[in-house]
Amino acid sequence: VIVKDAQLEWVRRPLQARSQQTLDRLLDAAEAIIEEKGLDGLTVGEVTRRAGSSVGAFYSRFADKEGLVRVVFERFTDQALATTEVVLDPARWQGVPVLDVLETMMMFMLNIVRERQGLVAALVARSALDPSLTALGERLHEHICMRMRALVIERGDSFAHEDPDAGMQIAVGMVLSFMESRAVYRTQRLPDERVASEVARLIVDYLGVTAAQDLPASSKKTNGRPQAPPSHAKE
Amino acid sequence: VIVKDAQLEWVRRPLQARSQQTLDRLLDAAEAIIEEKGLDGLTVGEVTRRAGSSVGAFYSRFADKEGLVRVVFERFTDQALATTEVVLDPARWQGVPVLDVLETMMMFMLNIVRERQGLVAALVARSALDPSLTALGERLHEHICMRMRALVIERGDSFAHEDPDAGMQIAVGMVLSFMESRAVYRTQRLPDERVASEVARLIVDYLGVTAAQDLPASSKKTNGRPQAPPSHAKE
DNA sequence: TGTACATCAGTGAACGCGCGTTCACTGATGTAC
DNA sequence: TGTACATCAGTGAACGCGCGTTCACTGATGTAC
């Protein structure tokens, strides 16, 4: 019997290579089904059928269906977090204007959200009713805030916003929720590239990020559009 | 038999006052249940029980359970749209700085979202799988864009953003999705008032809204914090 | 290296509960003459 | 004003399907000696 407790695991960890593979196949199958038909279309029967497994094997691994959903979501946010770690590494961005860094990051996020629309939408939907799931999103949120702050500071750039932490919370919160909404409402009136550059601009303007190394060469144009001076830049 | 067709109604409209009242009670009950337990907790049995009605009465009104959900959501967005109409009426805002108008509007939206967390979250969740529902959100989105543009123009203010329509689409999209996310993730690290003022500031900065009548009296302070000059304001 | 045993891993038929939907029926309201 | 009839509105027991979960069982892998 698998003990279900907030403190413990949602899945009994496999001990043999064989069962690890079975577990992976179950998770992949579940993710694919969620992507196609949403959480409502997810049945234990179809998961095991697609994974080439059986119901019994499923229940010797998971306490119940909820455990499966849980682990699928955890796996996804773990991946997202790890990738963020890499993308926002200051070492990658030596000498690149902040606006471009943000634009790249936006494109990156937009791609993830496009590839895994269904999963993101399902996670959002489930989070509304299951408060313990919101922790996953919050972890990502805080992580991005932290990384963004570190990135700007390590580059020697500065914020003009008088409360950068609060400002970043707002900005990151808006960006993340905007990404989620693009997963939910698939109609995309503006192309990803355009959205990425506009959102990057919006953040720079709002937080008033001033690039230290850009100050001398102020006539640099990054994307064919005159680069606006950051607001709040009074000093 | 109630014909289900995208072109036709989802509910057989009542002909007598008695059945209109029953219909209202059914919709109210359904909304309350969605608010409490989400769409998964919504059963025809409980709806009719709470409404003091019966299953048979329910099915003589709606083609099926989906029809009920549909009508509940339509009723909600209709209300939201009507209220937006009133709030964004330029006549209300003679001589008030744009920043304050936006801040008030944000507080207003935050209140709606707080009162009807469950319903908003359920609508978002369902929209992810049912494309025909996204039309409801889009209608609201476009309406707000239109009203905001009209508001700024009728007041004689101007945008510095070189493509105000696209900019407004982005800004309104971000604001709406941010509101939705506050409905979904109920943890609110920043108080509503703070969020409202920051978001208002973000929009003004990004779109570069310049208030015509504010130009002479530039030392005006609206909320105890020095009002930043709008970005992109080069002219 | 071989044998015995414990535990891990997997199988799929069967169970049973919940919930959407149907249906035969009763009562209320409107309308024609 | 009264009567007959059609339609609207409502009732709740019964049906049946889908799906989560259980369980008795077989096979695979590791370990002790």
Q: What is the pLDDT of residues B46-69, one digit of tens each?
A: 999 999 999 999 999 999 999 999
Q: How many residues does chain B have?
A: 235
Residue A87 main-chain phi, psi, to 5 deg: -65, -35
pLDDT score recorded for residue A235? 36
Distance CA B150, CA A48 (A): 55
Cβ–Cβ contact B228 with A under 8 A: yes
Instruction: Assess whether pLDDT exceeds 90 at residue A70.
Output: yes
Distance CA B208, CA B200 (A): 12
Q: B185, A134: Cβ pair inside 8 Å?
A: yes
Smallest CA–CA distance, residue B26 to chain A, in Å, is: 23
Q: Residue B26 is encoded by which pair of tokens?
A: 């059914």
Q: Residue A159 is encoded by which pair of tokens?
A: 């914020």
Dihedral angle over CA of B220, B199, B187, B225, nearest 10:
-20
**Got the DSSP string for B121-178?**
HHHHHHHHH-HHHHHHHHHHHHHHHHHHHHHHHHTT-EE-SS-HHHHHHHHHHHHHHH
pLDDT in single tens digits along all 235 residues of chain B: 444 443 346 788 888 888 899 999 999 999 999 999 999 999 999 999 999 999 999 999 999 999 999 999 999 999 999 999 999 998 999 889 999 999 999 999 999 999 999 999 999 989 988 888 999 999 999 999 999 889 988 888 899 999 999 999 999 999 999 999 998 887 778 999 999 999 999 999 999 998 876 554 443 434 434 444 444 433 3
Chosen from A178, A179, A204 to mutate, greatest number of chain B CBs within 10 A: A178
**Residue of A131, A183, A198 with shortest CB distance to B170:** A198
Q: B40, A138: Cβ pair inside 8 Å?
A: no
Q: Can you tell me whether residue B117 is helix, strand or coil? A: helix
DSSP element (H, E) containing A209: strand A209-210
User: A14 beta carbon < 7 A from strand D?
Assistant: no
Distance CA A228, CA A31 (A): 43
**Contact status, residue A23 vs residue A14, Cβ threshold 8 Å:** yes
What pLDDT, in 10s, does the model give residues A166-181?
999 999 999 999 999 9
All residues of chain A having their beta carbon less than 8 Å from the beta carbon of residue B186 are 131, 134
pLDDT score recorded for residue A11? 84
Question: Locate tokens 């939206």: which residue?
Answer: B109
**Contact status, residue A47 vs residue A30, Cβ threshold 8 Å:** yes
Q: What is the pTM of this model?
A: 0.86
What is the pLDDT averaged over residues A128-135?
88
All residues of chain A having their beta carbon less than 8 Å from the beta carbon of residue B230 are 231
Dihedral angle over CA of A222, A228, A233, A235, nearest 10:
70
For B:11-40, CB contacts with A below 8 A are: 37-38, 40
- Interatomic distance B55 CA / D12 C1' (Å): 8
